[in-house]
Amino acid sequence: MLDLTAFGAIIFDMDGTLIDSMGVHLKAWEATCHHFDYPFDADYQYSLGGVPSVQTAILMNAKYAKDNDPFEVAAYKQQVFERLEHIPPLISDTFHIFEHYKATLPIAVGTGADKQHASWLLSHYGLLEQLGALVTADDVTHGKPHPETFLKAAEQLQVAPQHCVVFEDTEMGRKAAISAGMQCIMVVNTKVQLP
């Protein structure tokens, strides 16, 4: 077990870090890209993991010189995701860390998902009620790689940012954690990478 006793709090990203949902999100984005005539690049879409869907659509418009309504794109992607009717599994590496430290360290989730989706998914696994804070795309003005998500989580936990450790699976999320003044431990292909 990772020794995290030097920290005052743990903040997990959700999709691809605590819950293995990135594959389903990529399927939803693939369908959305086809519908709105964007090229689909799985690696590019994965690199945007943790970025709210509206902001992802804005980035895709810029990258592919499109002028689709970002809110329409995000709503379509959410509908496709919900129609897939797939409840993604927990990631055992990070779930074991969650279980091991939940009694001794405050834990938050900082995610680019919307509040309704994040709350539903975390509740499904009985995790929501064990959190000290949940910060979603609906709670911030700037999504990852901006540090606001993680800074708000630290503030709600009442722990200084430099005493928090973040678990993330994307470069966008890692940048957000580092910008927030926090240490970051990466989760690559569902495996925690030892620092």
> Which of 19-23, 77-81, 164-168 is most confident?
164-168
What is the pLDDT, as a whole number, of residue 174?
A: 95
Q: Which residues pair with 107 in a beta bridge?
A: 10
How far is 124 from 39, CA to CA, in rounded Å?
34
The pLDDT tens digits for 86-99 are 788 999 999 999 99
**Can you tell me the mean pLDDT for 11-27?**
89
Q: Which residue has the tokens 């709350």?
A: 119
Phi, psi of 134 (to 5 degrees): -135, 120
Report the share of the chain in percent with pLDDT over 70: 99
The pLDDT of residue 38 is above 80: yes
Least confident of 87-91, 163-167, 183-187: 87-91
Mean pLDDT of 25-32: 92
pTM of the entire predicted model: 0.82
What is the average per-residue pLDDT within 44-72? 91
Write down the mean pLDDT value for the chain.
Answer: 93
Is the pLDDT at 49 greater than 80, yes or no? no
pLDDT for the residue numbered 47: 84
Segment 57-66 shows an average pLDDT of 96
The catalytic site residues sit at 13
Query: What was the pLDDT predicted at 85?
Result: 66
Find the mean pLDDT for residues 148-155. Answer: 98
Report the C-alpha gap between 190 and 48 in whole angstroms. 17
Structure-token pair, residue 96: 């074991």
Residue range 115-131: average pLDDT? 93
Angle at 51 between CA 31 and CA 125, to 5 degrees: 80
Give residues with Cβ within 8 angstroms of 86, minimum separation 6: 24
